[in-house]
Structure 1
Amino acid sequence: MSDVGNDLVEAFAEIAADLRGETRAQSYEIPSDLMTPERIRAIRRRVASSTRAFEREFHVPARTMEAYEQGRRRPDKATEALLRIIDKEPDAARRALVS
């Protein structure tokens, strides 16, 4: 079995032991400012009625936003920065992007 296969078997064994109460699995805090698909969708919905409307206003392709919102892709650092600006100051982002 490959290393990946062994890692998966080990991970599932740990999950099963935790579910049976035999051990306590390690947990992780997710930073509140993490750009998750849910957060990206919430930002977009707050400022635009659709991914197409978001594209018209903020120049991020609708298909790209759909991929971010569905978790198929992660935004790069520049797009993440733009999303943070849009989240905090959507009108400032709109003014900055006027052609």
Structure 2
Amino acid sequence: MPALFLVLALCLGAVSLLGQQLRLSDAAADAARAAGRGDDGARVLALVARAVPGAGLGLERRGEFVCAELSSDASFGPAGFGLRLTASSCALAGGL
């Protein structure tokens, strides 16, 4: 019975991590599009903070693209087991 609870807890934790990763990926795409439109850094950071509180944001120009890289500590179990989730996305600079 304890093994069943352990497996169930790990499965639920994996689903939770997957949800966090999806939110981080969506926020990276939103941040890249906003930065590509020319929004200022504070607005992009506020957009990310609203979607994924506590996430770190890095913006970088790569030729005609603006890329956003987000990272956040995993909130799985006690201290997240030291896992760090990252996501990145790029958008055309000057796009609408």
Shorter-chain-normalised TM-score: which range? Answer: under 0.3
Task: Identify the structure with bigger relative contact order (alpha carbons < 8 Å, sequence gap 6+).
Answer: 2
Structure that is richer in helix per residue? 1
Which is greater in Rg? Answer: 1
Larger fraction in strand: 2
